[in-house]
């Protein structure tokens, strides 16, 4: 008998739900994040996470075609459409409502993930989106809210320009619509945050009823306010062994049913300043799984 996996990763969730590997196609509404008008998040550079097939200004249909062509090179057909660039619900949901059904109607689309900010979601917008997505009622639609940290002073340091209360209230809005599943994003390794701070952030999103989670390590990307701060006064960033130790501390507090979509950041190497780990994601996952085995830890163990 096979041992129970120690993590509930998206790849395994997909195999259980659809019986095969499901790739992800990154999509954009083309609407600029409104927080950029307030200086923007200090770590953010949209180009650092943009896949090569996603060309700025392309309509969603063209983005989708490029993404599907890329997935075919990986022998993958089934995909999750991910409106991930910028803030997908910006502009009163107008662009998203118009475009979100395009990937969902594709027979090879398994579902949709929509990333946004807690202060850019309204109940009226969720109702409009729900109605627009009636074309595929059986396909999951995840609303992913970027919290990043439950500490208010950290949110101010990152120039997020939203509060923890914004996240809590918006999470409740999303949970009030059965059509949507709730996800969250958190950043680990932020200067000044302790392990107990990071654990509180995890517990906060768990208490809000998430079904999906993305974890990121803080990366310093070129041409961002964070890179300017780092150049003036370098601050400590975890190496990969330290980061994996953080994950081992936090993973037991993530309930087993929560699907983990990401465990670390993947900024483009030509734009990344620090930390440069010189290890790929497959090697990182292998190390993490060995550590969890050695420590006899598993997702949900302490939840």
Instruction: Encode pLDDT of 17-49 as tens digits.
Output: 999 999 999 999 988 899 999 999 999 987 766
E-assigned strands of 61-122?
79-83, 109-116
**Token digits of residue 32:** 């600029």
Residue 2 has pLDDT above 60, yes or no: no
For residue 192, what pLDDT band results from cuts at 50, 70 and 90? very high
pLDDT number for residue 1? 42
pLDDT number for residue 170? 98
- Mean local confidence (pLDDT), 117-125: 95
> Between the CA atoms of 293, 299, 302 and 303, what dihedral angle is there, to the nearest 10 degrees?
-170
10-295 maps to CATH 3.90.550.10: no
- Mean local confidence (pLDDT), 103-120: 96
Could you tell me which residues come within 8 angstroms of residue 233 by beta carbon, excluding any fewer than 6 positions away?
none
- Mean local confidence (pLDDT), 162-182: 98
Round to whole Å and give the CA distance between 136 and 107.
10
For residue 214, give the H/E element and its range: strand 212-217
> Between the CA atoms of 259, 275, 157 and 235, what dihedral angle is there, to the nearest 10 degrees?
140
pLDDT number for residue 225? 96
- Mean local confidence (pLDDT), 269-294: 94
Residue 303 has pLDDT above 80, yes or no: no
SS3 category, 168: helix
- Mean local confidence (pLDDT), 89-97: 88
For residue 203, what pLDDT band results from cuts at 50, 70 and 90? very high
Residue 3 has pLDDT above 80, yes or no: no
pLDDT number for residue 54? 75
Residue 256 has pLDDT above 90, yes or no: yes
The separation between CA 218 and the C-alpha centre of its own chain, rounded to angstroms, equals 13
pLDDT number for residue 268? 84
Round to whole Å and give the CA distance between 24 and 257.
21
pLDDT number for residue 246? 97
Residue 125 has pLDDT above 50, yes or no: yes
Round to whole Å and give the CA distance between 225 and 192.
17
Residue 112 has pLDDT above 70, yes or no: yes
């993530």: which residue's tokens? 254
Round to whole Å and give the CA distance between 116 and 86.
8
| Segments making up each domain of the chain, as ranges | 10-295
The residues pairing with 109 across neighbouring beta strands, listed in sequence order, are 79
pLDDT number for residue 48? 64
């Amino acid at each position: 008998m096979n041992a129970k996996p120690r993590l509930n990763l998206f790849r395994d969730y997909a195999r259980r739900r659809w019986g095969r590997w499901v790739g992800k196609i990154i999509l954009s509404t083309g609407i600029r994040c409104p927080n950029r008008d307030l200086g923007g998040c200090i770590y953010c550079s949209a180009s650092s996470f943009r896949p090569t097939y996603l060309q700025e200004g392309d309509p969603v249909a063209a983005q989708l075609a490029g993404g599907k062509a890329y997935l075919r090179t990986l022998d993958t057909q089934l995909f999750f459409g991910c409106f991930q660039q910028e803030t997908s619900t910006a502009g009163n949901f107008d662009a998203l409502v118009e475009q979100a059904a395009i990937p969902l109607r594709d027979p090879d689309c398994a579902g949709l993930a929509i990333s946004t900010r807690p202060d850019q979601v309204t109940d009226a917008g969720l109702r409009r989106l729900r109605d627009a997505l009636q074309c595929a009622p059986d396909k999951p639609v995840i609303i992913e809210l970027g919290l990043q940290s439950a500490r208010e002073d950290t949110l101010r340091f990152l120039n997020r320009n939203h509060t923890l209360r914004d996240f809590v209230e918006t999470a409740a809005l999303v949970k009030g619509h059965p059509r949507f599943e709730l996800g969250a994003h958190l950043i680990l390794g932020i200067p000044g945050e302790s392990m107990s701070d990071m654990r509180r952030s995890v517990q906060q999103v768990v208490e809000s009823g998430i079904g999906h989670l993305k974890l990121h390590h803080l990366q310093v990307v070129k041409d961002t306010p964070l890179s300017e701060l780092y150049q003036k006064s370098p601050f400590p960033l975890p190496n990969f062994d330290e980061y994996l130790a953080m994950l081992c501390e936090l993973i037991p507090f993530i309930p087993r049913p929560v699907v983990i979509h990401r465990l670390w950041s993947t900024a483009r190497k030509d734009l990344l300043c620090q930390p440069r780990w010189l290890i790929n994601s497959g090697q990182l996952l292998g190390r993490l799984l060995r550590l969890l085995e050695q420590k006899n830890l598993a997702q949900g163990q302490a939840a």
